[in-house]
Amino acid sequence: MSLRASTSQTIGPYLRIGLEWMVIEDLAPQGVAGERVRIEGRVLDADGRPVNDAAVEIWQANSHGKYASPEDKQDKPLEKGFRGYGRSLTDDAGAFRFRTVKPGPVPGPDGKPQAPHVTVTIFMRGLLKQLQTRIYFPDEPANASDPLLTLVPAERRATLIAARRGDGVLEWNVLLQGKNETVFFDF
């Protein structure tokens, strides 16, 4: 039997009603191993105006490079209490925030390790289907040979790499249009 996938529709402006119950901005409770990181950023439209009605969802492996998913058959430790899923709803400044651990490397298309990354799915009013992108980490030598990052035109790769601020927070912004438009993936 062959069916066709249902059509995407916009999340609309009232997403909080349906999605707020499961906001998860702290992904790594005590007992989860790894380097603690804070990732913060803003979603900005073509005019640089904050998008205050976006849902930013992240999905990541733990510090050992293991996903809390039955699809991940790797023999690596998985801590109880680590799901690897986060959801932040942007505020009036367009801001979202996560506290988590830096993920370890996970296998790429050919089995070789990918650079540590967080998968990002974004929904908002005015977006008829989700945007898919990734956050990579600064000062990470593996970025240079990452099988996905190297598919991205070199001059746009920086949009996928978080910047370390003075306070230690990793800043990563979503620019929907313009010169520094974030790279989005056709997934």
By C-beta, is 17 or 168 nearer to another protein? Answer: 17
CB of 184 to another protein, least distance (A): 5
CB of 81 to another protein, least distance (A): 12
By C-beta, is 14 or 36 nearer to another protein? Answer: 14
By C-beta, is 14 or 33 nearer to another protein? Answer: 14
Buried b (16+ CB within 10 A) or exposed e, 3-20: eeeeeeeebeeebeeeee
CB of 109 to another protein, least distance (A): 5
Cα distances from 170 to residues 40, 163, 181, in angstroms, run 6, 5, 18
CB of 99 to another protein, least distance (A): 17
- With left for phi above 0 and alpha for psi between -120 and 50, is residue 126 left, alpha or beta? left
By C-beta, is 1 or 166 nearer to another protein? Answer: 1
By C-beta, is 76 or 169 nearer to another protein? Answer: 76
CB of 60 to another protein, least distance (A): 8
CB atoms within 10 A of CB 40: 19
163-164 and 117-124 beta bridge pairing: unpaired
137, 116 in Cβ contact below 8 A?
Answer: yes
Chain centroid, CA 172 distance in Å: 10
